[in-house]
Amino acid sequence: MSKKICISLDAMGGDYGVDVVLPAADMVLQRCPSIELLLFGDLKVIEPMLEEYPRLKQAALLRHCDVSIGMDEKPSQALRKGRGKSSMWQSIAAVKNGEADVAVSAGNTGALMAMAKFCLRTMSGIERPALAAIWPTMRGESIVLDVGATIGADAQQLIDFAILGCAMSRSIHGINQPTVGLLNVGVEEVKGVEEVRTAGKMLRSLSPPNLVYSGFVEGDDIGKGAVDVVVTEGFAGNIALKTAEGTVKQFTGYLRAAMNRTLMSKIGYLFARGAFARLRAKLDPRKVNGGVFLGLNGIVIKSHGGSDAEGFAAAVELAYDMARNELIKKISDDLANYHRGRFSEAEDN
């Protein structure tokens, strides 16, 4: 009999808190009835609202927390205020203590990163964690990291990100040997900053197991799905992510305006409604909601702070898939194999 997956939820996090978390949790229970949910938050707020969700009321375990973290609080301030007692901290601590397999929060990204790193600590061999995003592409989905957890990265850290991203790709996409590209200003080997060029040489020469290094990729290659895993540092990655999100909004705004411009365009829309519905579904950010903090001794998922219930439910289901497919074990095995390979190469030299 397979082990049940327990997911801890920060019920107070995000722009809407329990107004989104509770209906999202109820959706997940309907789709995955075997899942276990552990909700952390103010019971004076949660319990009256649970009357609207009898299935969730019966299935979920509740833990009271007096403190919640605001979306505008600085990470250091949030850590001092919420360490040990906030809904965000307690949801992460449940993973550390073995009560839950994975934690999900829509709260303050900086605070969540600080608490996750402080509570769970980084895995052996990982200096700095990364925030990974699932990116819709022309071929399906790719993983891009880091998209904001770590500003700046040396060559070894970029290689670490590649290993982390590949383990995630194997876990959620079922790709045995994901292809990896380093985000750069050109595909030629002489282009880019020194750290990126050095990381490329190291990946090509050492050939870590369970990944195939494909060289440098440019910004437009991400959307093409040129590789399964795109590796960069957090400054460039976050800009790329926000640019893509803004471009989607710009495109859909232009399209909506064009469809409403004339009577003929409105009639044309009626004939093409099916195609537009498929396009809207493809571009729906809720379906890929959920950034993943990788490189920690536990899984923490960051949902978009302004997401609705459907989006938050997608983040919870992503958490479920990662725990079910043993992401942490895959990362640990890949790191061990990589460092064993480095040690053997050093002995040979």
Per-residue pLDDT in tens (0 to 9) along the chain, 349 residues: 457 899 999 999 988 999 999 999 999 999 888 899 999 999 999 999 999 999 999 999 999 998 989 888 888 888 888 888 899 999 999 999 999 999 999 999 889 999 999 999 999 888 889 999 988 888 888 999 989 888 889 999 999 999 999 999 998 888 989 999 999 998 888 888 999 999 999 998 877 778 899 999 999 999 899 999 999 998 998 898 888 878 877 877 777 787 777 877 777 767 666 665 665 666 656 666 778 999 999 999 999 888 889 999 999 999 998 999 889 988 888 888 877 665 455 445 4
Helix (H) or strand (E) holding 243: helix 234-259
Give residue limits of the domains in the chain: 6-126+295-332, 130-285
pTM: 0.86
Check if 6-126+295-332 and 130-285 are the same fold.
yes
pLDDT at site 283: 60
The alpha helices in 32-147, defined as continuous H runs, are: 43-50, 54-59, 75-82, 87-96, 109-120
Round to whole Å and give the CA distance between 69 and 229. Answer: 32
3-state class of 34 per DSSP? Answer: coil
In the CATH scheme, what is the code of domain 6-126+295-332? Answer: 3.40.718.10
Spatial contact of 144 and 162, defined as CB atoms under 8 Å apart: no
For residue 343, what pLDDT is reported?
A: 46
109: closest CA among 142, 147, 135, 139?
A: 147
Residue pair 123/335 in contact (Cβ under 8 Å)? The answer is yes
What's the confidence (pLDDT) of residue 282? 61
* Residue 101 CB partners (closer than 8 Å, separation 6+): 5, 6, 7, 95, 299, 323
At 20 the pLDDT is 94
CA distance 32 to 264: 45
Q: Is 319 in a helix, a strand, or coil?
A: helix
User: Domain 130-285 carries which CATH code?
Assistant: 3.40.718.10
Is 4 in contact with 96 (CB distance < 8 Å)? no
CA distances from 311 to 153, 175, 259, 290, 316 (A): 30, 25, 27, 8, 9
Cβ contacts of residue 254 below 8 Å, gap of 6+?
none
